[in-house]
Chain A
Amino acid sequence: MHEATALNDSELARMHVGIIAGDIAAQQAFEAAVRPYALGIATRPGLSIDDAEEIWNDAFRVGLERAPTIVPLGRPLRAYVLSVAHAAAVDRVRARARRNASGLEGAETDIDELSISSGAMTTSLTDAVIGAITTCLESASPLHREVMTMTANGLTAREIARITDITEANAAKIRQRAREWFKNCLGGVGL
């Protein structure tokens, strides 16, 4: 069993306070306790271990920066950092897939420049669309919202089934209903 699961609530809480205080020992203990899981979850979408290491370093730093806000709210810092690592991994996989689909492999400089310029051009457009999507998300049932979040984050029906403790077929059914609800909602707000 890893140290992360062996720590009791009081030890975890003290570690979190130490992290905010800049206690190197607490930060190293947190890293030792969480890093294996973060690397596991970052490599899950198919990234290399080197990519996962980069993601972990970034996620860890974000966790340290946000700890003063998160910890007093009683939110779990470990889960937050894992969530950041997972989202970064999914983002990276999606970005690569887009590059591959555009046939831009192997031209790293050009790709970076294109990504930056296309990102700037589409920002205002996507902001409006994302706003509409967010509106639908907020009006969805908690179950549909979470299932759509899991789907958007790349979880398979099997994983959703394991998390929600139902069969894979039923998880797929619920996901389908969530998608249909979502499409209807987007249609209702003009998308």
Chain B
Amino acid sequence: MNDALAELRRSAAVELDRLDGSETGRVEDDAEPVDELVAAAMLDNPRSDTWLAVIEELALTGPTVDRPAGAAATLATTTWSAAPVSVEQALRVPRRDARMGLRSAFALNVDAADELLERPAAALTQRPPQAVRALARIVGRPVGELFADIAASARASSGFVYAYRPGESATDPAASPIENSMDALVDWGHELLS
């Protein structure tokens, strides 16, 4: 983000060079209102890299308000769903495409791919992150959103990812659970998203 700020500063310097350097100019009244529609249009989509750098700079160099921590994190977490999402649901493409994606990414036959489609999405954590990234690319699912579904599935399984067992539905508990702590999930996700 420093690059974005640096570029903005370079642009400002270039523009000033174009202007008469000796002219001091009148400092405009800051109270001059910006047309509401202009503001609305800009507030609608102000999140360029440069704007994010600007707002971060303003926040980090401006006054902070340090009050006892609120409950936003806890509140947000309790409102998050932890639905038992299956692999098929997590991929969000027609079953035929999902099957093809699994076969390509994991080198599975049709039957194995179909069985995996019914598994909880958390089962994908048993696969190498690189292969899951390839799967996301093949089916056109944003990898961050796929990971969010996988994580939701893992949370629905109380942090456990169940070992593969043919014929099992997405929501059934299974024998031989493989413990998958949040740390392990985050490590796997870190590799997936990096």
| Interfacial residues, chain A to chain B (CB-CB below 8 A) | 2, 4-5, 13-14, 17-18, 20-28, 30-32, 35-41, 43-44, 49, 52-53, 56-57, 60-61, 64, 67-72, 75-76, 78-80, 82-83, 86-87, 90-91, 94, 98, 126, 129-130, 133-134, 137, 141-143, 145-146, 148-153, 155-159, 162-166, 168-177, 182
Contacts and interface: CB of A to CB of B under 8 A. Distances in A.
B25 to A, nearest CB: 4
Contact of B72 (A23, A61, A146, A152): A61
Sorting the interface of chain B by its residue count into under 10, 10 to 19, 20 to 34 or 35 or more gives 35 or more
A71 B194 CA distance: 9
Interface string B12-34: 11011001000111111010001
Contact of A133 (B41, B56, B144, B147): B41
Given A20-B144, A53-B70, A143-B15, A153 B43 contact: yes
B28 A176 contact: yes
Contact of B48 (A32, A37, A56, A149): A149
Interface string B86-114: 00000000000000000000000000000
Contact of A143 (B8, B38, B65, B186): B8
Contacts of A151: 34
B159 to A, nearest CB: 10
B78 to A, nearest CB: 10
A37 B65 CA distance: 7
Contacts, number: 249
B43 A152 contact: yes
Interface of B: 1, 5, 7-9, 11-13, 15-16, 19, 23-28, 30, 34, 36-67, 69-70, 72-77, 79-80, 82, 142-145, 147-148, 151-152, 154-155, 182, 185-186, 189-190, 193-194
B25 A87 contact: no
Classify the interface of chain B: helix, strand, loop or mixed.
helix
Contacts of A80: 47, 52
Contacts of B72: 31, 35, 56-57, 60-61
